Amino acid sequence: MSQKSDQAQQIDDLMNTFFAQAKAQFCSVIKSYWFYDGAICPGCSRPTDGMVKFKGKNALSLNAYIIYRERGVLIGYLLCKTCAKTIHTAAQKNSYRQPPLHTEIEQFLSASYFQHI
């Protein structure tokens, strides 16, 4: 029996938390979740290991707020360092407006989810 890596366990735990929060906020709209575990960043197709520097410390760049609406699925994913920094910087400058990178990520993940099912 193989034991999950520490990072995989952290992702599972956080995805369960994100799902519970989304379910509480959106009720029956959210039916399930799926984690994109591809080796490439959904924002730029660079390799990603999910770890980024945040306030001088290593942090897991787990994101899970895109909903594949047609099926009510919360999709989780990791970003590369460059895309994580781009999104974080854009959110600090204007938290009410999504950067264009979000649209690219959503399209990539929706296509990946469709291939998955």
Confidence of residue 1 (pLDDT cuts 50, 70, 90): very low
Q: Considering the domain boundaries, does residue 23 fall inside one? A: yes
Q: What whole-number distance in Å separates Cα of residue 42 and Cα of residue 86? A: 13
Query: What pairing do the DSSP bridges indicate for beta strands 73-78 and 32-35?
Result: parallel
Q: Considering the domain boundaries, does residue 77 fall inside one? A: yes
Q: Considering the domain boundaries, does residue 31 fall inside one? A: yes
Determine the structural domain holding residue 20 and report its residue range. 6-116
Q: Considering the domain boundaries, does residue 33 fall inside one? A: yes
Q: Considering the domain boundaries, does residue 103 fall inside one? A: yes
pLDDT given at position 4: 62
Structure tokens at 56: 């001088």
Q: What whole-number distance in Å separates Cα of residue 1 and Cα of residue 57? A: 32
Is residue 43 within 8 A of residue 79, CB to CB? The reply is yes
Residues 95-117: tens digit of each pLDDT = 777 778 888 898 899 889 989 88
pTM score, two decimals? Answer: 0.81
Q: Considering the domain boundaries, does residue 1 fall inside one? A: no
